[in-house]
Structure 1
C-alpha cells in the first residue's frame, strides 16, 4: 500500500480474465452453489431450445472423472462465421461475454438466458471444456482450456483435463469430428470445473439436480430430462444412479406434486396475455446502439390450490428460470390475490361473521400452493443469478390476469366451484380469526410470574426455575403416570403436563377445531409461544418438550398425534431440536448375586436386548428372579425406578425428533394422518409382512 494513486495503478481485465478474477459476481460463490450454478447455465441453454420447440430430451451425466456432460437435441450452436468478430458461432458463444442469440435478434421469443455470459462464464471457470455440435450432417468440435481455444493431446485414451494442451496461435479451428445422421441436430457440452477457482469441498449435488430437473419437466410439458450419476460406480451401495422426468400436465401437475395437505379447492388455472412498451437500446446495422420504444408481450400462467394446512408454497418463474426471491410478478400476484379475496369476504361478511376486520396477506396465503410462470422477451433481472425480476410492467399484467381469473371463479354457477369458493372463504376468515385471537392472547402465552400463574391450565405442574435453557416439559399420558412422575421429577427444572388419552388428529381437523379442542389449546398455552404463523420460538417457556408415553402401541399412537400437532402448528420446536421422546425401559431384570452381595437391577429397552442379556447371564452361570417384570405402562413403575431410567439426567435416554426434510416429513404425516385412506392402506399392506405379531397389544 502506498499513498500514491495514479492511472498506472488501474487494471483493465479483458474478456474472460474478469470472470476468473471475480467469479462470485457471475455465479454467486466458488463453493457448491456456484458449481451448481454453472451447471444450471448449460442446462438452461438446452431448456431454452426446448421451449422454442426444438428438441424434446436433455441428458445430464455426472461422470466418474469429475466432469459433467449436457446433451440436447436442439438446433445446435451456430457453426458459421460471425461477421463482426470473424469467429465461428461456437467460439463466440463460449469465449465472448455478452454475446449470443438472446438479445432480441429473433432466435428466441422468450428465454432464460439473457446476458450472453452463461456459457462463456462456465468456459472461463473450467479447466477443460469440450463442445460438439451436430448440424447439416456433420459433427463439429472445439476444446477450451480455462476459456482459451486450442487442442488437447489425449492420444488414444479418454479425454482428461491434465492432457497436454496447445492453444491456437494464428487462428482458431472448428474441426469436423465426424458425421451426424440426416436430420439430427443438437449440442453436447462436457467440462471439468477448475479446482483453482472452486473450493476443495465443492461438489455437484445430485439431490439439487433432481429437484431442478423435476421442476423444469413440470414447467415444459413434454420435455424429458434424464439424469445419470456415474461418480460412485465402484461403490456397491450406491452404484450408478439414473432418474428420468417427463410430465404432460404442466403447472397444475406441479402444484399437485407440491401440495401435501388435503384440498380445499381444486387446482385453478389463471392464464392470460398482456402487452406493454419499454424503451431499450437496439443494435443498429452499423454497430451503434439507438434507444427505441418497443412493444412487448407478456404471457402469464398461474396454477393455485388451497389446502387445509397453513403453510404457503409459492414457486415463481420467468421464462422457466426460478426466481426464489420473487420480483414484480410475485408482487402483482400476491397483492391482487389479497385484494380480490378481501372484497369477496366483505361481500359475504354476514354469512361468514367476519365483522369489520380486514383480511391480511398471510390469511390469504395460508395453505396456498401456487406456481407462477411469466414469459416475456428480455426481462430485467437483478444480477446474473436472476433471482429477482425487476420489469415494472409485469406487476400490472399479472394482477389483471389474477383479477379476471378469480372473478370468473367467484361468479361461477357450477355447484362444485361454488362449494369450493365457499370453503375457501371459510378458511381465510378462520385464518383471520385465529390471527386476531393469537394476537389478543399473545401476552398470556408468555411465561407468567407467580401472581399470574393462575391463567395457565390448572393441571400443569410447573417447575421453579425461570431459566428456559434448563427447563423441561414432560407430556405424560394419564393421571396414573402423572402421580408417579410427580414423585420422580426434579421440581427445580422439570414440569409435568398430563393429557387424557389420545388428542385430536390435527392433520384432518381445521384450525378452528384445533383451537376449540381443550387438550390442544391447553398444550399450546402451556408451551407459551403461540401457534401457526404467530409461533415465536423465543417465547417458548421450556427448553425441552419431552413426550413420555407408554411403551406400547397406544403410546406410539399418542406420540404420533402429538408430533402431528407440533409439526403443523409449532414446527419451529422440531426445527430447533427441542422436541424429544422419552425412552422408558421395557423390562426389569433382578440378577441374584451369591452371599451377602446385594442383587443387581438391570433394565432393558427391547426384546432383543433382553434376550442378549439373558444369554450372557446363562454363560456366566448367573440366576435371575422370575418372572421378569415387563412394564406395560409408566404407572407400573415406582417413582425411584421412573426417575432412574426415564427422567433423571444422569441415567435416562432421550430420542430427539429431527426434521431434515420438511417436504418429505409433510408427505409422511399426510399419508399416516390425513384424509386420504388409500395411500395409508397401501402403506399398511406393504409393511404387514415386516410386523412382529408379538409386538401388538391385543
Structure 2
C-alpha cells in the first residue's frame, strides 16, 4: 500500500450547508433503513405537535401519495415568511437549509418542545429527492421547492388566504435510503400515541395507494390512552384515576388503571417523547404511589395481618401513563430514552401528594380491591422465594440442583455458553447426540409449558417445565430475586418444529420470557433457531436457505449480478425487483380468473386512478381510450363504458368468451387491486417500455415485465443444485448439527423488543382471557395466515 505523504491545508474538506447530512445521514437520523426513513416524518410532525402544545394548532393531516411522497399539513401559525434579520434571506429558506435553526433555540418561542436540536426539517430537506413547503400566514400563501436540500425556485407569494398553517411535501431520496416506502401502520401507531398525549389535537392519516385512512382524536387525552391499552384485559377498576397538576414550571399528567393481570405497565413521556428507560419522573411516581398507599392503609388499619407490602406488590396489575411537560429537560444519552432532570421527580411527587390522598379517601371500595390484589401478590412473592434455591451453579463442592433432563455443557463462562430449549424428547435426543459438549447445553421440554399470561408466580413455579427452565438458566424469577448476572448462558436458543404446534410452543416461551425474564431479551440473549428449508450448491459454494422469501432473495441477488439499468440506482435494484416479483405473481393470479396481463398491468400504473373517479364521465372516457390504445383489450370480444343509474357512476365492462368483468368502484376498492396499484409504483421506476438492461456490457431489451423477470430468475438459477429439507422432528443428529446446531452454518433469529407497548398489548390480546378482541384480531389478519392446521 502506497502512503500518501501530501497532507496540507488543501487536504481538509469543508462541507457546507446541508452537505454533512447527505455525507453522514446516520449521524442525524440514526440509520438509512426503515427506521431512519420514518424518522423523517416524525421530525416534521414534531414541529406541528410543538405548535399544538403551544396552543396554536388543532388539526394535523398526513397523506401518503402513490408516487412514494408524503404530505404533512397543520393549521398552526405557519413558519415566519419575512426575511431573517441575520441571514438576510427568507426565514423559511433559513429553516429549510440551515442546521441548528428554529424556534426551539429561543426559549420564548416554545414552552415545551420534543425536538431540541433544531436539525429536524433541514435534515429532512437534505435527505429528500424533493421537498415543497407551502406556508399560509399573514393573509398570504407562500411557496418554495427544494431538490436534495437546495432551492430550485425563489420563495414567493402565490396566493391569498384567511387561513394559517404549514404544509410540507417531500419524497425520501432513493440515493440515500435502502427503502423509500413508508409504512402506514408504523406512522399510524405513532400518530395515535401523539393524539392521546395531546388532548384535543386531531391527527389524520390517509394512504392513496390503498384507499385507507384513520383519524385520531382523544378528547380524553391520557385517560383515553390508558383505557385503550387495557381494552383486551379484565379491569379491576371501572374508570381510570386521573391526576393533573403543575409544580413550578412543570406540568404533570397521570392516568392509571388496574387490570387482573400479574404485571405492571408504566409508560412515561417527556414533551411527547417516550422515555422507555424511565428516569427521575418515573422514579418519583413509584416512590410517591407506594408511600401514599401504604400510609393510607396504615392510617385506617386496613391490614388485619402484618404484611410488608412493597411497591411491586401494590403495583401488580397497574397500567399507568405518566406525561411530563417541561422546559429544557435533561436526558441521559443521545436517544432521550431516560430523563435525568431531578426537578421532575420532585414535581411528580408533589402533584401526586396533592391529589392521590383525597382520591383514596373518597374511594374506599377501590382501595380495598387494590389492597386485596397487593396481598395476593405478596403471598405469591413469598412462594417465589423457593426459586432462590434453583439459582445455584453446580461445582465440585455442591450437590447438583440442575434438572435431570438437562445435558449441561463443560464451559463455565456464560459468555461462551449456549443452551437449546428443544421441543420434545425425540428432537432433544438428536440434539444431545450432535451438540458440541464443550459449550452447548440441551434442555428438552415435554409438551407445552404453562401460559404465564393467565397464571401467578406460585402457579408458575409449580409447573415442571418452567421450573426446569428457571433451574437451568440460574437467574431466579421474581422481581426481587431475578439476577441477570447469574445467567448461565448468554445464548438461549428456542428450537421447535416448523409446524403449528412448534409455533405455539415458541409463543408460550416468548410470553414467559417477555413477562418474567425481560432483561434476557433486552440484553440480546434470546434467540430462535431456524432450521433451513433448502440446501443449495453451485460449484464449490454451499448455502442453507431457511424459507421461500430467503430463496427469492438469493435468486434475485444472483440474477442481478453484473447488471446495469440506466433508469434505476444500483442500491434500488433489490427492493424494486423484489416488489416486481410480487407484482408478477399477482398478475398471474388475476390472469387465472380471466383478467389478463395487458389489461391489469396498464390499470396498475394509470396515474390518478381511484374509486371516486368512476363518477366522472370524462375520466372514464380517457381511461377507456388509453386502455384501447395500449392494446389492453386484445383478449376480449367486447368492451364498453356502461352508466349505472342507481349509483350515478360509470363502469368499464369487458367480456371474454365465457366471462364478464365490471370495473367499478367496488373492484377498485378490493385489497387485491389496491395491492396491485401499490406494486405498480415499483414497475414505473424501471422507466418506459421496452426495458433495457446491460449485462456485462451487452444491452438486452424486454418488451414487458414478465420477460424481464423470467430473465433475472433464469440467471439466478443457472448452475444451481437445490435440495429441500424436512422438518426438525424428522432430522437425524447429523442433519440437525449441519443445519441448525453448528455455529458455523446455522441461522438464528435474535429476539428484540422494538415497541414494548405494542408487544404488551399483543401478548395480552393473544394469550389473555378476553375473547372478543382476540376474535377481532383473527378476523382482521386471517388472509395473512400461511400455515394453518384444519
* TM score, norm. by length of structure 2: 0.57
Find 2:250's aligned residue among 266, 286, 298.
Answer: 298
Alpha-carbon distance, 1:216 to partner? 0.8
Question: Which aligned pairs between 1:546-695 and structure 2 lie closer than 5 A?
Answer: 565=512, 568-569=515-516, 645=730, 650=735, 666-667=760-761, 669-671=763-765, 673-679=767-773
Shift of 1:576: 5.5
Corresponding residue for 1:616?
none
Q: Is the 8 A contact 2:143 2:155 kept in 1?
A: yes
Please point out which of 195, 198, 206 is paired with 1:217: 195
Residues of 2 paired with 1:313 and 1:424: CA distance?
Answer: 16
Q: Determine the structure 2 residue equivalent to 1:509.
A: 455
Aligned to 1:608: none
- Find the aligned partners of 1:10 and 1:489 in 2 and give their Cα distance: 60
Does residue 177 of structure 2 align to residue 175 of structure 1?
no
- Provide closer, same or farther for how the CA distance between residues 226 and 581 of structure 1 changes in structure 2, counting only shifts above 3 A: same
Match of residue 114 from structure 2: 112
Match of 1:138 among 122, 125, 140: 140
Matches within 5 A, 1:95-494: 95-102=97-104, 108-114=110-116, 116-151=118-153, 173-180=154-161, 183-193=162-172, 198=176, 200=178, 204=182, 206-229=184-207, 233=209, 239=210, 242-259=213-230, 262-265=234-237, 268-276=240-248, 297-309=249-261, 312-340=264-292, 351=304, 353-355=306-308, 359=310, 367-379=317-329, 387=337, 389=339, 391-415=341-365, 417-426=366-375, 429-430=378-379, 433=382, 436-438=385-387, 440-444=388-392, 446-447=393-394, 452-453=399-400, 455=401, 460-463=404-407, 466=410
Deviations 1:169-219 (A, max 9, x none): xxxx53222344xx43321112344566x4545765554323211211211
Contact 2:490 2:525 in 1 (8 A): no
Give the C-alpha shift of residue 40 in structure 1. Answer: 1.8
- Any idea what SS the aligned residue of 2:192 has? helix
Q: Distance in 1 between matches of 2:32 and 2:784?
A: 47
For structure 2, list consecutive stretches of 5 or more residues without a partner in the other structure. 532-726, 741-746
Quote the Cα distance in structure 2 between the aligned partners of 1:529 and 1:425.
Answer: 24
CA distance in 2, matches of 1:390, 1:38: 26
Cα distance change, pair 331–564 in 1 and its aligned pair in 2 (3 A): closer
Structure 2 residue matching 1:249: 3-state secondary structure: coil
CA 1:250–1:84: 2 relative to 1, 3 Å:
same
In structure 1, distance between residues paired with 2:293 and 2:322: 18
Q: CA deviation at 1:301?
A: 0.5
Of residues 39, 43, 56, the one that matches 2:58 is: 56
Which residue of structure 1 aligns with residue 715 of structure 2? none
User: Residues 401-452 of structure 1, C-alpha deviation per residue, up to 9 Å, x if partnerless?
Assistant: 233344334444431x1223313532653575467554x32534x4577972
Bigger mean CA deviation after superposition, 652-661 or 674-683: 652-661
Contact 1:20 1:125 (C-alpha < 8 Å) held by counterparts: yes
Residue 220 of structure 1, CA deviation: 2.0
Shift, 1:669, TM fit:
4.6
Instruction: Check conservation: 2:135, 2:167, Cα contact below 8 A.
Output: yes
What's the counterpart of residue 93 of structure 1?
Answer: 95
8 Å CA contact 2:173–2:180 kept in 1: the answer is no
Measure how far apart 1:346 and its partner are: 7.5
Deviations 1:76-124 (A, max 9, x none): 2233445555544423433455544455676544443445443334334
Which runs of structure 2 are paired with 1:2-21 in the superposition (5 Å)?
16=18
Q: Is the alpha carbon distance of 1:491 and 1:408 closer, same or farther for their aligned partners in structure 2, counting shifts above 3 Å?
A: farther
Q: 1:413 to 1:365 in 2, by over 3 A?
A: closer
Question: What SS does structure 2 have at the residue aligned with 1:452?
Answer: coil
Q: Deviations over 1:323-354 (max 9, x none)?
A: 44445433433443455456668777964644
Counterpart Cα distance in 1 of 2:376 and 2:24: 50
CA-based RMSD: 5.4
Alignment counterpart, residue 75 of structure 1, candidates 74, 77, 90: 77
What is the TM-score when the length of structure 1 is the normalising length? 0.63
1:463–1:144 Cα change, 3 Å? closer
Q: Which has the larger radius of gyration?
A: 1
CA distance in 2, matches of 1:36, 1:683: 25
Q: Counting helix residues as a fraction of each chain, which structure ranks higher? A: 2
Q: Distance in 1 between matches of 2:271 and 2:419?
A: 51
Where 1:304 maps in the other structure, the secondary structure is strand
Please give the alpha-carbon distance, in whole angstroms, between the structure 2 residues aligned to 1:92 and 1:84: 10
Gaps of 5+ in 1: 152-172, 234-238, 277-296, 583-641
* Distance change (3 Å), C-alpha of 1:255 and 1:308: same
Alpha-carbon distance in structure 2 between the residues aligned to 1:543 and 1:123: 44
